[in-house]
Each structure stands twice: as C-alpha cells, then as structure tokens.
Amino acid sequence: SAPARDRLRIAIQKSGRLADPARSLLAACGLSWRQSRDKLFCFGESLPVDLLLVRDDDIPGLIADGVCDLGVVGLNELDEQAKARRQQGLPDAYQPLRGLGFGQCRLMIAVPEDWDWQGVAQLSGKRIATSYPAILAAWLRDKGVDAQVVELSGSVEIAPKLGTADLICDLVSSGATLAANQLKPVETLLDSEAVLAGPVHELDDARAGLMAMLLRRLDGLSRVQD
Ligand code: ATP
Ligand code: ZN
C-alpha cells in the first residue's frame, strides 16, 4: 500500500475560471501558502496542506493516482472522467464531496437557431460535437437516441458552421457564446458547479484528520453564507 503521508495535497486549476475562487475558498478555511518560485506547488504554512496548480482536466487523474488527495474541479469534468473510466471497465477512483457554490454552468444540447425543436427524437442520425463524449453517450443511450458523437477538444460551438457536426453539446452559462454562433440551447444533460473532489476510500494516516477538519471548516463557511 501507499506510504503514509502527513501533509494533505490539494489540486486546483492553475489559471482559468476556477483558479481564484478555489484559492479564496481555501484561504477562507484558514489555509495559507508560501508561493514557490515556479508556482506549480504551494507549500502550506498555517497547516500542512499544500496546493498543486494544474490544468482542470488533470485533476481527476491526479486523485485517481493518489498524487493529490483532494481537488477543486467542475462536476462536468469529474463526471466525464468518471463515466469514461466506467466505460473502460475501471473502478471508481474519485467522488464529489461538497458542492462549492461557484463555477455554475450547464452541459446542454444546442441546435441551430432555425431548427423547430420537437424533442430528443429529432437528434436521431445527427452528428453532435462535444468535449464531453462519455456524458453525451450515456445520455443518448438513456434517451434511446442513436446519434453520432464527434469528439472535439475545443471550439465546439463553431462545428455546425464548419459542417463537422449538425449540433453541439457544450457548457453554457450566459448563453452569449451560443447566440453569437446562431445556436439555441434545448436540453440540459448536467447542472454543474465546482466541487471538492476526493478519493472513494478513506485515508488511513494523518491526512484523514486534516481532510475532516477542512470539510468541517467548509461546512461552517457555507452555514455562515446561507
Ligand atoms: P484549463 O487550462 O485548466 O484546462 P479550461 O479552459 O479547461 O482550463 P475554464 O474555461 O477555465 O477551463 O473552465 C473551467 C470550468 O469552469 C469548467 O470545466 C466548468 O466547470 C466551469 N465553467 C463555468 N462556466 C463556464 C462556461 N461558460 N464555459 C466553460 N466552463 C465554465
Ligand atoms: Zn481544461
């Protein structure tokens, strides 16, 4: 089994939508760090809780591999990677522990504005561009719709204009990006927000106590905010 560790390691996004709110929330829990020179690793000063600054896509894998104990990541990303693991027959390796109240967005199906939307049966035989192929495939299966999933890593919203897909499945917050691309949202697959993700099995060394304390402090914060 893995060697005992006495410091907790939390992965957060290095830069992007979740970076600042994640850091602020952890600071509000009483954590502080000595900034390292390369800024990929922040050594915890007030408590033995260190930060690893990474791309959000890497966070579930870092928890699965035991490199990090916790992570702040969008439920969309966590759920996508969890479903991809299941589709590969791998065991569950992480779970959302707490919703954090920021990074709200929806994973939605969006179709060209001029479509007369009748319902999900209309998706049958169509090509759907997305960066969330596992969630989309599971949703299509659940709805009994046979459509083609076109996996794209970025610029999903221009795929219909480019002719590489008929419609898209993408994250939506204000809807401005969809409107700018003459698309309209019609179905919601997932209501997402940033979550604190952790392992499926409890830790059995000093990190367990640190994790419990951090969760208590987080819960205390959300009571004050409510
Ligand atoms: P990285 O460089 O870390 O891979 P990224 O470009 O994948 O960054 P961001 O655009 O910063 O990531 O989004 C991070 C998370 O913010 C998303 O996974 C999602 O949970 C959340 N989010 C909230 N609103 C939106 C939105 N309108 N579009 C995209 N993501 C959003
Ligand atoms: Zn990313």
For the stretch 85-119, pLDDT in tens is: 999 999 999 999 999 999 999 999 999 999 999 99
Same domain, 158 and 213: no
3 band by pLDDT with thresholds 50, 70 and 90: confident
136 Cβ closer than 6 Å to some ligand 1 atom: no
CA distances from 226 to 26, 105, 191, 222, 223 (A): 18, 20, 20, 6, 5
At 22 the pLDDT is 98
Same domain, 20 and 91: yes
At 38 the pLDDT is 73
* CATH number for 18: 3.40.190.10
Its domain, for residue 145, covers: 105-192
Same domain, 65 and 128: no
Q: Is residue 137 predicted with pLDDT exceeding 90?
A: yes
Domain count, the chain: 2
Rounded to the nearest angstrom, the distance between the alpha carbon of 57 and the centre of ligand 1 is 10
Answer whether residue 1 is part of any domain: no
SS3 53: strand
Q: Is residue 73 predicted with pLDDT exceeding 80?
A: yes
H or E stretch at 192: strand 183-192
Same domain, 80 and 70: yes
Q: Is residue 36 predicted with pLDDT exceeding 80?
A: no
Nearest atom (ligand 1) to Cα of 56: 3
Q: Is residue 120 predicted with pLDDT exceeding 80?
A: yes
59 Cβ closer than 6 Å to some ligand 1 atom: no
**Ligand 1, residues 17, 104, 172: which to mutate, most atoms within 8 A of Cβ?**
17
Same domain, 198 and 188: no
Same domain, 25 and 89: yes
Phi, psi of 89, deg, nearest 5: 75, 20
Distance in angstroms (rounded) separating the CA atoms of residues 82 and 222: 26
181 Cβ closer than 6 Å to some ligand 1 atom: no
At 225 the pLDDT is 66
Same domain, 99 and 203: yes
Average model confidence (pLDDT) across the chain: 95
At 222 the pLDDT is 79
At 194 the pLDDT is 98
> pLDDT (tens digit, 9 = 90+) per residue, 167-177?
999 999 999 99
Nearest atom (ligand 1) to Cα of 74: 20
pTM of the model: 0.95
224 band by pLDDT with thresholds 50, 70 and 90: low
Same domain, 90 and 37: yes
159 band by pLDDT with thresholds 50, 70 and 90: very high
Distance in angstroms (rounded) separating the CA atoms of residues 106 and 99: 15
